Every structure is written in C-alpha cells, then in structure tokens.
C-alpha cells in the first residue's frame, strides 16, 4: 500500500473521556487564545515602536511569529479531535501538519542560535557590534533561518511521501514524520540517514554553537566589571531559560517517539508529547515581556495609558 493511496491516518492516542472532553476543550482553547494574544501583542509592540527596531528585538519578533505558526499547526486540529468520536485525519492534512510542526521546531532551534550569536557579539565585541549586526545582515539571517527550515522539511516530506506503508495508525494526538516512517514496510535507510543528518544540523549543531557562545560570554563576564556581568545576566537569562525549556520538551518528544513508553499513563504521555508545542509559545512571550527591560517598560506604559483613558471615559461629563 503506497502512501499516496492512503486516504487517512488514525490518531490512536486519543481516548474516550466522556463529558470531560468539554473541559479539556476549554483548557486547550484558553491556551491557544493566550498564545495568540501574547505573541501577537509582542509582535505589534516590536513592529510599531522604533526604539525596538534593533537586532535582538527583530530576532524576538521572528521567534514570536514562528510560535504563532507552530501553534496554528497543532491547536485547530487538536480542538477538533478532542470533540470528535472518530480520530482520523486525511493524508494530505497529516503531511501539512508534519510540515508545520517540523518547520516550527527547526526554526525555533536556529532562531535561538542566531540570538545567542547576537548576544555573543554584543557582549564580547561591543565596539564592532553595530558594524557586524547591520539591518541587512539581520534580515538575511532571519530569511536564511526560515528558508533553510522550509527546504529541509519539504525534502524530508518528499522522502516520507514516497514510502510504501503497511499501516495507517499513528499512536499520537498529532502527525509527525517519524511516526509515519515507522509505518513503512519499504526500505527506510535513506530517510533515516537524512533524518540523522537533519537532526544534527538543526538540533545538535545549534546547541553546540550556543554552548560555545555562552562559554565565551562567561569568560568575558568573569574577567569584566560588575556592570558587564549584570548586563550579561540580564540579557542572557531569558534566552537560556527559553533554550532549556524548548530542549526539555524536545527531549521528551524524541524519547517518547523512539522508545516504548506504554508504562506511563496515557494522559501523561499526551501531555509530554505536546509540551514543546504548547508551553514554549506561551512561556516565551511571558519570559521576554517580563525580563527584557525595554519591552517591559513599553508594556507598562501602554497598560497605564489605557487604564488612565478608561478612567477618564468613565467620569461623568
């Protein structure tokens, strides 16, 4: 049975929750609405305030756009499936979801890498920073991140789509490439080699580069003044927290995909599998909104201005 002739996939990780499905639906809807509001608000703030038109904030804007993209690849389907009694998706929708989620993951790692490079230049080479991080270079790095991820995932999907499948049951609540590959009864050596190469280029490679940049940053901090250390900590802490959170979620997803986790409760396995797709898009806007001083100040001023305007409107004329 060739994958092009499979009309649907069954997502078997869903289970009957009775009336609780409406409760789960409301939780997921609240999470999705929160993610959209938080990320969209920070995108608008960065784009409309000229004081934030700096490299670091442009990279953050790219990060928030990617989180909207990844969330949209998961939540609409998840919300429909929670209320549905038959948990099936068409082949083309399944591959579209694979494209969205894998692209999101690749862009997230690469975006965090160029953000660490940006902090490395700002702290280790402050005098050369403005000549190195020009607006053209920033735009080029962001475009390259998205283009590289798109091309890599499309090529991976072309290999998966040509596989001969023996089954159409995916033991997850969403479609991912590795789950489709496991259904194949044809030779998967080529796609396995490509998968390992792509994983190194988009996961392990970026993580190694990030570790290298932060080792250099720490070296400068220990040899610099107290003011330098405070500046480094204030700018690097959100980035490191974001990286650790995303890596933590991806680690559980990889472990669950590669190893038998049937000993864990079904609900726990579902939560671990969607952690990297739900917590990161909600965690980052809150983290950067609270920790990055410029964004925090602008958010406070906007909130204060709207509160004052609301009180003045309520006063009797």
Q: What is the pLDDT along the chain (317 residues), one digit of tens a residue?
A: 444 467 889 998 887 778 888 998 999 999 999 999 999 999 999 998 888 889 999 999 999 999 999 999 999 999 999 998 888 999 999 999 999 999 999 999 999 999 999 988 988 888 899 899 999 999 999 999 999 999 999 999 999 988 888 888 998 899 999 889 988 888 888 988 998 888 888 888 888 898 898 888 888 777 767 776 777 777 778 888 888 888 888 888 877 777 767 677 777 878 888 888 888 999 998 888 777 777 878 877 776 665 545 455 555 54
Residue 191 lies in a domain: yes
Residue 260 lies in a domain: yes
Q: Contact 175/9 with Cβ under 8 angstroms?
A: yes
Residue 64 lies in a domain: yes
Residue 169 lies in a domain: yes
Residue 316 lies in a domain: no
CATH number (domain holding residue 35): 1.20.1070.10
How far is Cα 159 from Cα 116, in angstroms, rounded to an integer? 32
Residue 315 lies in a domain: no
User: Is the alpha carbon torsion for 167, 99, 238, 200 positive or negative?
Assistant: positive
Residue 125: strand, helix, or coil: coil
How far is Cα 102 from Cα 97, in angstroms, rounded to an integer? 8
Q: Which residues of 174-202 are buried (b: 16+ CB within 10 A; e: fewer)?
A: bbbbbbbbebbeeebeebeeebeebeeeb
How far is Cα 99 from Cα 183, in angstroms, rounded to an integer? 18
Q: Contact 57/239 with Cβ under 8 angstroms?
A: no
Can you give the pLDDT at residue 104?
95
How far is Cα 87 from Cα 74, in angstroms, rounded to an integer? 14
Query: What range defines the domain where residue 290 resides?
Result: 7-309
Which is nearest to 295 in space by CA: 246, 234, 251? Answer: 234
Query: How distant, in Å, are the alpha carbons of 22, 77, 86, 234, 259 from that of 160?
Result: 35, 21, 25, 43, 20
Q: Contact 138/55 with Cβ under 8 angstroms?
A: yes
CA 44 centroid distance within chain: 19
Residue 99 lies in a domain: yes
Number of domains in the chain: 1
Q: How many other CB atoms sit within 10 Å of the CB of residue 135? A: 11
């Amino acid at each position: 049975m060739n994958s092009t002739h499979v009309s649907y996939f069954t997502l078997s990780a869903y289970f009957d929750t009775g009336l609780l499905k409406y409760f789960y639906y409301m939780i997921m809807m609240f999470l999705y609405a929160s993610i959209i509001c938080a990320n969209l608000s920070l995108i608008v703030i960065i784009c409309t305030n000229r004081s934030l038109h700096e490299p670091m904030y442009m990279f953050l804007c790219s990060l928030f756009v990617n989180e909207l993209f990844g969330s949209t690849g998961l939540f609409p389907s998840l919300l429909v499936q929670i209320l549905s009694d038959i948990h099936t998706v068409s082949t083309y929708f399944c591959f579209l979801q694979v494209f969205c989620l894998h692209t999101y993951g690749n862009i997230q790692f690469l975006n965090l890498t160029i953000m660490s490079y940006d902090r490395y230049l700002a702290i280790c080479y402050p005098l050369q920073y403005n000549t190195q991080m020009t607006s053209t270079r920033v735009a080029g790095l962001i475009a390259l991140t998205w283009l590289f991820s798109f091309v890599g995932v499309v090529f991976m999907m072309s290999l998966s789509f040509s596989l001969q499948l023996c089954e159409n049951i995916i033991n997850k609540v969403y479609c991912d490439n590795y789950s489709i590959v496991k259904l194949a009864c044809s030779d998967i050596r080529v796609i396995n080699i490509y998968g390992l190469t792509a994983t190194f280029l988009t996961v392990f490679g970026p993580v190694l580069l990030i570790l290298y940049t932060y080792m250099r940053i720490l070296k400068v901090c220990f040899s610099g003044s107290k003011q330098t250390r405070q500046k480094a900590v204030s700018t690097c802490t959100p980035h490191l927290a974001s990286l650790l959170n995303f890596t933590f979620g991806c680690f559980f997803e990889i472990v669950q995909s590669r190893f038998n986790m049937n000993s864990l409760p079904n609900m726990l396995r579902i939560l671990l599998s969607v952690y990297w797709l739900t917590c990161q898009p909600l965690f980052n806007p809150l983290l950067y909104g609270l920790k990055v001083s410029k964004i925090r100040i602008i958010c406070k001023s906007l909130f204060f201005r709207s509160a004052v305007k609301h009180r003045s409107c309520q006063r009797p004329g």
